[in-house]
Amino acid sequence: MLKKNAKSLELIDFKYEIIIRLYKSSFKLTKIYKILEYPRITISSIIKKYNKNKIITIVQCLGRLSLLNNHDKRSIIYIIKKNG
């Protein structure tokens, strides 16, 4: 049920939504932990993120971020073409 990421373990959207729904149904943290058998820290962090942002789905990692933005890339191409 857990999907392995390069840095950490992330829950799939379905399990994330189940945790939030159980929390909204006034289940205690320990009860959710016993039902789903996920680490308490994972469940509590998901609930904290939900209370802070009111977001139900997780953001999928899209890979490594680019070091250069579009303007920087165009500038490098311009300089290379100008000097080459």
Report domain extents, the chain: 2-83
pTM attached to this predicted model:
0.53
- pLDDT (0 to 100) of residue 16: 83
Q: Which fold has domain 2-83?
A: Arc Repressor Mutant, subunit A (1.10.10)
4, pLDDT greater than 80: no
- pLDDT (0 to 100) of residue 57: 60
Measured CA to CA, the distance from residue 56 to residue 84 in angstroms comes to 51
- pLDDT (0 to 100) of residue 25: 92
Measured CA to CA, the distance from residue 79 to residue 40 in angstroms comes to 53
- pLDDT (0 to 100) of residue 11: 55
pLDDT of 12-64, one tens digit each?
677 888 898 999 999 998 899 898 888 899 889 888 988 888 766 666 666 77
Hey, what are 83's tokens?
A: 């000097």
